[in-house]
Amino acid sequence: MNVTEARAFLTWANQHDPRVEPSPVNAEIWAHALGPYYPEQVKQAALEFFRTAGDKKINPADTRRFIQSMRTSEEARQSALEPPAKVINSPGAYRARNPELWDELREQGRREHLEQLKRAGAIK
């Protein structure tokens, strides 16, 4: 977002909230704070801010947090849609590939479980 885009945004925001001043200095501050973002992202964050913030005045820091939150949500949504990189169909597949290690790990788990039960007083 550059100064011209920031000024246009501030004029837009001022129409909803007259406390937002579309002055040149304010536009420069907003442009500096939100420089890495597109005007569409800033406007979307402002809409979300106005929807949830009540009577609080919008500011660059809150807008930046809203944009980052929206990005994080979108990244999480995208990663949830991607299949996992390596899928193990069944534990038996590991057992078939590594029978000795499987038996060793199973015995180790059995011993650890028995020790845990003894420590807890469930068995003697």
pLDDT in tens, 73-124: 999 999 888 887 777 677 677 788 888 998 999 999 999 999 999 998 888 7
Instruction: Tell if the pTM clears 0.85, that is, is over it.
Output: no
Cβ-Cβ contacts under 8 Å for 90 (sequence gap 6 or more): none
Q: Where are the domains of the chain?
A: 3-81, 91-120
State how far the Cα of 50 lies from the Cα of 17, in Å rounded to an integer. Answer: 9
pLDDT in tens, 15-55: 999 999 999 999 999 999 999 999 999 999 999 999 988 88
> Which range, of 8-12, 63-67, 91-95, 101-105, averages the lowest pLDDT?
91-95
Could you tell me the CA-to-CA distances from 101 to 23, 67, 97, 110, 111 in Å, in that order? 70, 48, 9, 14, 15
Could you tell me if 39 and 1 are in contact, meaning their C-beta atoms sit under 8 angstroms apart?
yes
State how far the Cα of 95 lies from the Cα of 85, in Å rounded to an integer. Answer: 21
